[in-house]
Amino acid sequence: METTLSEQAPVVLRNAATVMMVRDGPDGDSALEVLMVRRNLNSDFVGGAYVFPGGAVDPTDGGPEAEALSPARSDAVASAILEVPTGGLAYWVAVLRELFEEAGVLLATRADGSLLSFARDDDERRFVEHRRALNAGQRRFLDICGEERLLLAVERVHYFAHWVTPQGAPRRYDTRFFVAAAPPDQTPAHDAAEVIDETWLSPKEALRLHREGQIDLIFPTIRNLQAIARFERSSDLLDAAAAAGHVPLIEPRVVVDGRAMRILLPGDPGYDEAVAARPGSGGDFNEAIRIISAAANQGDEEG
């Protein structure tokens, strides 16, 4: 009998947001590239895996202060896009905060509407210090933006996908995926704490490296890389995301069938019938996810 891996104790879903920051390749190469960061090897959750910048939505990411710094998108509009009653803008703010914390990129505009640039050395040094203080817990993200008289460029960040961690995971996230264009004159740099490396890769190259065992990817990352690999240029992806309507929820179900473990997605045969197993009947969830992720793109021709 096929059953899902069970949770040993109730696990609270945490709201999270992550961003696929994209650009076209350098030197005239039009191939779309996406920024990926490598999680610290000692991380409790998917340590060593390459992911997109992101993390949990913080309570301070929402509220009137966030709205005041995000005039291009109200909380009501953001909530309607995400199909939640309220608090939707906090996901956009969380994406921008996490991108700055983990990769040192700040998507924001000056009072004149120009994108924030680090082309001048004094600007770059000042924002390096802002980031250090933010990551040390000495400053708040919104305070930094207010002090610098910046407006958050939420209109440049587009909703793309919605994933919920399968039951059985020691941590579960209700994660919204977004896409955004990389700003000019800002160079990503990892924080050497939560993430230990950063790299620009085409989606197909990332999938190939994973297939060959050179990098670790987890299942939602693989699926989103496959989704954006359909686009040749970053503008094509961004236009499609901006024009998209309803974004469906994807909640995979990890199932045990004899000694085999696999993931079912909505629409797969057996998905609706798969139910949570009783406590004690599951297995090692993280190992299951790694095994499944290692084979998830084997059939992808472009890889």
8 Å CB contact between 229 and 303? no
What pTM was computed for the model? 0.87
Is 273 part of any domain? no
Is 295 part of any domain? no
Is 26 part of any domain? yes
- We report the CATH number of the domain holding residue 173 as 3.90.79.10
Between 117 and 286, where is the model more confident? 117
What is the per-residue pLDDT across 161-170, written as a single tens digit (0 to 9) for each? Answer: 999 988 777 7
Is 291 part of any domain? no
Q: What is the DSSP letter of 232?
A: S
Query: Which residues does 202 contact at the CB level (< 8 Å), separation at least 6?
Result: 25, 31, 32, 33, 34, 229
Is 127 part of any domain? yes
Is 259 part of any domain? no
Q: How far is CA 162 from CA 82, 152, 248, in A?
A: 9, 22, 7
**Chain-centre distance of CA 123, in angstroms?**
27
Domains: count for the chain? 1
8 Å CB contact between 31 and 24? yes
Is 257 part of any domain? no
What is the per-residue pLDDT across 119-155, written as a single tens digit (0 to 9) for each? Answer: 888 999 999 999 999 999 999 999 999 999 999 999 9
Could you give the dihedral angle defined by the CA atoms of residues 196, 19, 205 and 23, in that order, rounded to the nearest 10 degrees? -110
What is the per-residue pLDDT across 30-64, written as a single tens digit (0 to 9) for each? Answer: 689 999 999 888 776 677 889 999 999 999 999 99
- The domain of 54 spans 8-248
- Residue 9's pLDDT is 54
Residues 170-193, mean pLDDT to the nearest whole number: 91
Between 270 and 185, where is the model more confident? 185
